[in-house]
Amino acid sequence: MVDRTKNERWVYIVDEEHGPAARVKDLVLLGYDHFSRAELLTDHVHEDAYEFVYVDQGAVDWEVGGEFHLTSAQHIIHTRPGERHRASFDYIGPSTIWWIIVRDPAQHKEWFGLHEEERHTFVKWMQSCPRIQWVSNDVVVYFERLKQLIMQQNTELLEFQLRHYVMEILLHMLHHPQLVVQSQNMHAYTQQLKERIQQNPSARYAIGQLAEEIGLSESHFYRVFRETNGQSPTAYMERVRMDYACQVLKESKMTITDIAMELGFKTSQHFATVFKKLMGMTPRAWRNQNG
């Protein structure tokens, strides 16, 4: 049985591959991460490649080229060649993500074996698609199939199947961006809730109160919120507060106790416990490392 209390990672890197999969050079990297606690994800760049990250569970804040972006379950975010990016404050919180990096089709004429016209269509899509899109969670099936193929490379027609499933993933991301996810209204409400907490981090909201605001029963609200964001409303709100705490720790000289009080915690010990659970270290250690 998999221990979901520990971080999990699986990564395929074509430059380190010696099997037949390495012949599909346009698939640069493929990866899966399950973060049960915060993990470093610092500034980096891919000079000749696009990266697409699918958020399967949780909520992740990103910084791309100095701009901040919020993603939650069933969001795809991408970066273009040469764009510097990282997790907000260099830490990615509890979440589950799949990610794929492919070479820039504009620079590689034999890209995944496509005809010239098809390749140019992907060039157009990839250069113009929105930074963040909603997609069906069916895309996970194709990520899992790619992983399975890479781990069992004695499969017949391996190269063809690898190219096929990469194309399926990209088509899901680029050609069907408006596929229905749980509730676009819930995505908008989640963003509003985040902004409210950032403006008044000491405020506490009961599930019943939130459900009433959006016109749902408490049980229905809880289910839709969890399906949309990959975590419960309570866990999400605590995560937003801890992200706010990171900002204050980094940008101010407030004491840990004062920050705890500003966030509505009755004691600094309780604040430190919650912070460490999500960020993997105490507030003081985080400030020493990032201040």
Per-residue pLDDT reduced to its tens digit, 137-149 = 889 999 999 999 9
Distance CA 236, CA 230 (A): 9
Amino acid making up residue 131: R
Q: What pLDDT shows up at residue 4?
A: 54
Considering the segment(s) 183-290 as one domain, its CATH architecture is: Orthogonal Bundle (1.10)
Q: What pLDDT shows up at residue 130?
A: 83
Distance CA 79, CA 247 (A): 24
Asked if residue 76 lies in contact with residue 46, where contact means CB atoms within 8 angstroms, the answer is no
What distances in angstroms separate CA 126 from CA 25, 97, 199, 243, one per listed residue?
18, 20, 35, 31
What is the 3-class SS of the chain, one letter each residue? CCCCCCCEEEEEEHHHCCCHHHHCCCEEEEEEEEECCCEECCCECCCCEEEEEEEEEEEEEEEECCEEEEEECCEEEEECCCCCEEEHHHEECCEEEEEEEEECCCCCCCHHHCCHHHHHHHHHHHHHCCCEEECCCCHHHHHHHHHHHHHCCCCCCHHHHHHHHHHHHHHHHHCCCCCCCCCHHHHHHHHHHHHHHHHCCCCCCCHHHHHHHHCCCHHHHHHHHHHHHCCCHHHHHHHHHHHHHHHHHHHCCCCHHHHHHHCCCCCHHHHHHHHHHHHCCCHHHHHHHHC
pTM of the model: 0.70
Q: Which residue ranges make up each domain of the chain?
A: 10-175, 183-290
Q: Are strands 27-35 and 95-103 parallel, antiparallel or unpaired?
A: antiparallel
Per-residue pLDDT reduced to its tens digit, 3-46 = 556 789 999 999 988 889 999 999 999 999 998 888 888 889 99
Tell me the CATH number for domain 10-175.
2.60.120.10
Distance CA 14, CA 244 (A): 38
Q: Write the CB contacts of 62 (distance below 8 Å, at least 6 apart in sequence).
A: 68, 69, 70, 71, 77, 85, 86, 87, 88
- What pLDDT tens digit does each residue of the chain (291 aa) get? 445 567 899 999 999 888 899 999 999 999 999 988 888 888 899 999 999 999 998 888 899 988 888 888 888 999 999 999 999 888 888 899 999 999 999 999 999 999 999 999 999 999 988 888 888 888 999 999 999 999 988 888 999 999 999 999 999 888 754 444 445 577 788 888 999 999 999 999 999 999 988 888 898 888 888 877 767 899 889 989 998 999 899 899 999 999 999 999 999 999 999 998 888 889 999 898 886
Q: What pLDDT shows up at residue 10?
A: 95
- Residues 76, 77, 78, 84, Cα dihedral to 10°: -160
